[in-house]
Structure formats: structure tokens, C-alpha cells
Amino acid sequence: MSDTTETPLQMAQRHVTEGRERVSRQETLIARLTRDGHDRMLPNANALLDQLRGFLAFSEAHMERLIAQGAA
């Protein structure tokens, strides 16, 4: 949940942290699907992982831009 007093940089850092957690959870779920033989679910699960990684990369780049601009 966001705090209305967080700075743009704090918000970006939160988004990166949350994004990393989502990617990690999805990777864990994919490993479990693979282990348990749910091959039919893997294409969708991997597609979602790709999207989550893309959003994470975007969030990380945004955070880095804020840091480079000296945002507090």
C-alpha cells in the first residue's frame, strides 16, 4: 500500500521491490508447475513471467533515471 507522503523516488523503489517479489513468486510457481507435470499451464505462466520481467525492467529504469536526476 502506498503512503501519500512518499517521494517519487520512494514510490519507484517500492515498485521495484514489489516487482522483484512478483517475479520471484512467478518463478517459484513455474518451478512447481514443471515439477508437478502441469505442462499445459507453462506457456501462459511463462508469458506472464515475461510481462512481469518487462514491467520490472521498466520500473528499474525509471528508478535509475530518478536517481540520476538527484530525486529525493
pLDDT single digits (tens) 31-61 = 999 999 999 999 999 999 999 999 999 999 9
Cell 521495484, located at residue: 16
- What is the C-alpha separation between 64 and 72, in angstroms, rounded? 12
pLDDT of 71 reads 73
Residue 35 contacts by C-beta under 8 Å, 6 or more apart in sequence? none
- Domain ranges for the chain: 9-68
Which pTM was predicted?
0.87
Arithmetic mean of pLDDT over the chain:
94
CB atoms within 10 A of CB 12: 21
